[in-house]
Amino acid sequence: MDRFIGRTQELGLLSRLLTRVAEGGRAGRPGRAILIRGRRRVGKSRLVEEFVDQSHVPYVFFTASGQPTIEADLRLFAEAVRESTLPDTELFRDQAPGTWDAALRLLAQSLPGDQPSVVVIDEMPYLISTDAGFEGTLQKIFDRELSRKPTLLICVGSDLAMMEALNEYGRPFHQRATELVIPPLSPADAAEMLALPAAEAFDAYLVSGGLPLILDEWPSGETALDYVADAVTDPLSALLVSGERALAAEFPPDSQARLVLGAIGSGERTYTRIQQATDGMAQVSLNRALQLLTAKRIVQASTPLSPRPSRETRYSIADPHLRFWLAFPAQHMPEIERGRGDLVMRRIRASWTSWRGTAIEPVIRESLRRISDQLPGETQAIGGYWTRTNDPEIDLVGADAEPIARRISFVGSIKWRENRPFGERDLAELIAHRVKMPGADESTPMVAVARSGVAVNSPTPIGPDDLLAAWRR
């Protein structure tokens, strides 16, 4: 099995929940439930596998298939229980339950009553999509039977919106389960795992998106471009297959959502440009595709942060790895498959600096949100500002609230260049744009985030080491 990477906090949370199960609960209900969500390929299932292996308690691990029939998943569920370490699996050898109600009741009978056990339902959104009543059935059996056993029920899913909604008011599982979000590994994790300095660690994060499968095959100390150069020569490398597998689980290759996603991944950020890139897709279809992509948290829709409402929405790929994959490998897979990864690498090297300069912006904003208490003023929100003509266009805006600010706490510029620091010309440009920023004036503090240092005195300087430290807090 692949070596397990990090996740100390998440393992600790699951262990504490299992301890509470073992200690018992009020009114004879020791059973507990947890809903785990996170993007595809971030290692949710692997985390749970590691947890049950470390726990040394009886468990069953069932993964839904995504097949269109309830019967198919019921057969797989019965098979998973029969092959599990639960003590009374013979019940599933003698019976073939035809409904989820019957299957879950039978599972409850198979669980031990004198020691803790774990029940894992992976890819739960597939079950809900196939059977609209599954959610209510699971809640009923949990309340009446599973919660009366010393059992930890773990439900896992990659459909972020659906998993988040499961615990909302009015849904069957409301207030019955703890929630755990599994993020990708962080830039700080990448730096530690790959033994890279801060600036190179951020490059690795932009390429890998913090996905464990990619970082696990990444040689220690190797720069992003060196790793990519090796990966594009191997059609089976995690770098190349992770993006396609993640999207294939969500959308058919010829779906309108995939077309829109491809347009955004190639660099189109406004509604008009996306529509042009999709050969004039009908407005109704484009709206539906954008709503689906944003609901699934694959695409992020952003508006300018300022005291004035704005409809100048820009769209971007939310996941860093998917952003890289769509921009480069996805467009050139035929060349990679016929052994011409060198041609793809030539294009990547030619576009790397400009692509990286844009791709790093949301990562820097998220880094700064983690150290907002160290920034000028009382910063509670961090975004950017732009107009339709991009005059001005400001990389960083700090404010006291979002999406509509009452007070601007700072404005800033990002210059993620390889060898040239933030200099006088960059400062003059930032000052000129600050004058045009609603809510800002000559007294508004300035921040300069630069990969290669800041060579002027006025802005607050922030470099790669400062940003990486934010992820270690």
Residue ranges with strand state E in 168-285: 178-181
> Which whole number is the average pLDDT over 207-226?
95
Contact 419, 344 (CB under 8 A): no
List % helix, strand, coil for the chain (3-state, nearest 5): 50, 15, 35
In the predicted model, what is the mean pLDDT of residues 69-77? 92
Write b or e for each residue in 255-281: b if 16 or more Cβ atoms lie within 10 A of its Cβ, otherwise e: ebbbbbbbbbbebbeebebbbebbeeb
| Amino acid 169: pLDDT | 87
How much is the pLDDT for 3?
Answer: 54
The pLDDT-based confidence of 40 (bands split at 50, 70, 90) is: confident
Look at residues 271, 253, 361 and name the one whose alpha carbon lies nearest to residue 262: 253
Is 317 in a helix, a strand, or coil? Answer: strand
Residue 202: predicted pLDDT: 98
Least reliable range by pLDDT among 26-35, 126-135, 248-257: 248-257
Q: Does the pLDDT at position 221 exceed 50?
A: yes
The SS3 call for residue 258 is: helix
Looking at every residue in the chain, the average pLDDT score rounds to: 93
SS3 (DSSP) at 55: helix
Q: What is the pLDDT of residues 340-371, one digit of tens each?
A: 999 999 999 999 999 999 999 999 999 999 99
Q: What is the mean pLDDT of residues 114-140?
A: 94
187-365 under CATH 1.10.10, yes or no: yes
Residues 230-278: tens digit of each pLDDT:
999 998 999 999 888 888 877 877 789 999 999 999 999 999 999 999 9
Summarize pLDDT for 409-451 with one digit per residue, the tens: 999 999 999 999 999 999 999 999 999 999 999 999 999 999 9
Predicted pLDDT at 443: 95
Instruction: Look at the block and give the residue holding tokens 């790895």.
Output: 321
8-181 CATH fold: Rossmann fold (3.40.50)
For residues 422 and 454, the answer to whether their CB atoms sit within 8 Å is yes
Which CATH number fits the domain 366-472, given the four candidates 1.10.3470, 2.40.30, 3.40.1350, 3.30.70? 3.40.1350
**b/e per residue, 19-52, with b = 16+ CB within 10 A?**
eebeeeeeeeebbbbbbbbbbbbbbbbbbbbbbb
Query: What pLDDT is stored for residue 66 in this prediction?
Result: 78
Q: Which whole number is the average pLDDT over 42-50? A: 93
pLDDT above 60 for 2: no
Query: Where are the strands (E) in 303-378, listed by range?
Result: 314-317
Residue span(s) of the chain under CATH 3.40.1350 come to 366-472
- Give the pLDDT of residue 89: 87
Specify the pairing of strand 151-157 against strand 117-122: parallel
pLDDT of residue 27 exceeding 80, the answer is no
Judged against a pLDDT cut of 50, whether residue 1 lies above it is answered with no
* Region 196-201 average pLDDT: 98
Is residue 4 very low, low, confident or very high in pLDDT (cuts 50, 70, 90)? low
Intervals of CATH 1.10.10 along the chain:
187-365
pLDDT of residue 31: 93
Q: Pairing state of beta strands 446-450 and 460-462?
A: parallel
Measured at the alpha carbon of residue 30, what is the angle toward residues 25 and 32, in degrees to the nearest 5?
A: 115
